[in-house]
Amino acid sequence: MKIPRSLDNPISIFGGLMVAVSLVIIFFLVGHSMIFGQGGAYSGLVTFIFAPTFLIIGLVLMPVGGYLRRRRNRKTGRPGRQKWRVLDLNKKEHRNAVLVLIFASLFLVFISSIGSYEAYHYTESNEFCGKTCHSVMEPEFTTYQNSPHARVGCVECHVGEGADWYVKSKLSGLYQVYSVLAKKFPQPIETPVHNLRPARETCEQCHWPEKFYANQLVKEKHYLADSANTEWDIHLRMKIGSEDEAKGLDEGIHWHINPDVKVDYISGMKDRSELPWVRYINLKTGDTIVYTDTENPPDEELLTEGEIREMDCIDCHNRPSHIYLTPQDFVNQKLALDSISRDLPYIKKIAMEVFFSEYFDDKDTAVMVIRDRVETFYKDEHPEIYTNQKHLVDQAINGILSGFSSNIFPYMQASWDAYPDHIGHKVYDGCFRCHNDRHTSESGRVISMDCNLCHTILQQGSPGNYQTALFNNTLDFVHPTKLKGGWEGGLCTDCHRYLYE
């Protein structure tokens, strides 16, 4: 079989070379991955995205070049074929040409089908989501790997089931690729609270709200910023649901998603950190109560144009996978694990002073500053420790840097400060967005700030000096350090948002 003369032109030849090179690259990378079990984000991009793209471009260029040559021949008056070629299967060369065309077409369709299937799965993989745009997505991918959902695929939450959401995600992905290439991405990446699917379509595919545990025991271990890094523990009984399992979600924290109750709100902020208007509806009786924040009431424009959103899981569990620990929390964890020695005086205080008094432009600067601040403190204030126990100082520096690199990302300006976590109420308002004794109805009903609605304190204090409650009782909270005027006069966030323990 002879190659048509029309394909003997630079454009068609270049297209043919693109096809050949693309096929060689694809077969080589696929074979290498199958034989050696090696691959990565970038080899996947080449194998399933870039190489097939150039393959298709090459296939398009070949007939385009032939068409352009024939048109040029007609304009210049060169002899060309005036009639359609007659296909005669009785001739061997015609039969061979048809068979070659059929098998080549089937081969390309087969390869394209496999490639499309693999490309689909690759673009749905955690590796593609987290590593392709490494510097941009590093904060999200790193925190995701340390989260309770580390074995749940990114697309399970960000896309979910259904063709419509799949198409939306791919269209959104095209703009995201453009943003990265054109360097138009925001720093930090905005949380897509307004684009996520309802929790019932994602979270509740695994979690069954009616079958949550009634109670959960939680032990929080803290270390104070004093010379001894004093340990201070608090044991809580979290009232997830009703104490009587038969009551289901009639009581407890998850009462908010009781199927017989509807809680709506209007947010005064884009990140939903302020909720000045809340509405409760009893779906069985139809009773409706509207609460407004008396200190920060919603204006008429917000009430008229603001989005009325039905509360669901994500309104409290807004950081289920991308969890940025505060410096207090990750240093407490390192102290509890002995990654930072508690025998080093004031190590908690020094670590907190670094994070709350310094601004880091990049990771390298942060590493130098943290190392310098810790070493300088022990050189100047405790030279005997620096001389005789230098290994503990180095261990502490490595522990602090480990926590820093997993939770603070200067390049993307991503950290605990950029992403509020609405679970709890110590560092972020969270529960206190509504439960602050300020949300009042026209009849005088108030959304209570009573701590015991959600949890009771079973034990608190330092090891060897615990206060312990009797069975089914609770302790009054005792702040580990004395505060002028006590702690009852304000919110926890008034101090803990930017100060350290």
**pLDDT tens readout for residues 71-104:** 777 777 665 555 556 777 787 877 777 787 788 7
Location of structure tokens 């009797």: 470
Do 23 and 41 fall into the same domain?
Answer: yes
Instruction: Measure Cα distances from 229 to 220, 343, 350, 426, 500 in Å.
Output: 15, 8, 11, 20, 13
- Sites in the chain below the pLDDT cut of 70: 1-8, 29-30, 32-34, 36-49, 77-85, 109, 112-124, 134, 163, 166, 170-171, 209-213, 498-501
What pLDDT, on a 0 to 100 scale, did the predictor assign at position 206?
Answer: 86
- Among residues 158, 136, 138, the alpha carbon closest in space to that of 146 is found at 138
Q: What is the CB neighbour count within 10 angstroms for residue 468?
A: 12
Domain assignment present for 198: no
Treating both helix axes as pointing N-terminal to C-terminal, what angle do 390-407 and 134-145 enclose, rounded to 10 degrees?
Answer: 110
What pLDDT, on a 0 to 100 scale, did the predictor assign at position 493?
Answer: 84
How far apart are alpha carbons 59 and 55 in whole angstroms? 6
What pLDDT, on a 0 to 100 scale, did the predictor assign at position 198?
Answer: 82
Q: Which backbone phi and psi does 486 adopt, to 5 degrees?
A: 80, 175
What pLDDT, on a 0 to 100 scale, did the predictor assign at position 419?
Answer: 92
When divided into structural domains, the chain yields a total of 4
Do 308 and 442 fall into the same domain?
Answer: yes
Q: What is the identity of the amino acid at 318?
A: N
Examine the fold and report which residue of 349, 382, 412 is the final residue of a domain before the chain moves on. Answer: 412
Do 309 and 433 fall into the same domain?
Answer: yes
What pLDDT, on a 0 to 100 scale, did the predictor assign at position 210?
Answer: 67
- Among residues 339, 452, 458, 486, the alpha carbon closest in space to that of 406 is found at 339
CA dihedral 244, 245, 247, 252 (to 10 degrees): 80
Do 221 and 313 fall into the same domain?
Answer: yes
Domain assignment present for 153: yes
Do 450 and 399 fall into the same domain?
Answer: no
Domain assignment present for 501: no
Q: Which domain holds residue 357?
A: 327-412
Do 312 and 261 fall into the same domain?
Answer: yes
What pLDDT, on a 0 to 100 scale, did the predictor assign at position 297?
Answer: 93
Do 369 and 353 fall into the same domain?
Answer: yes
What pLDDT, on a 0 to 100 scale, did the predictor assign at position 394?
Answer: 96
Examine the fold and report which residue of 104, 123, 142 is the final residue of a domain before the chain moves on. Answer: 123
Examine the fold and report which residue of 412, 442, 473 is the final residue of a domain before the chain moves on. Answer: 412
Answer for the pair 278, 288: CB distance below 8 angstroms, yes or no: no
What pLDDT, on a 0 to 100 scale, did the predictor assign at position 216?
Answer: 87
Do 368 and 384 fall into the same domain?
Answer: yes
Domain assignment present for 53: yes
Q: Is the pTM of this model over 0.95?
A: no
Domain assignment present for 438: yes
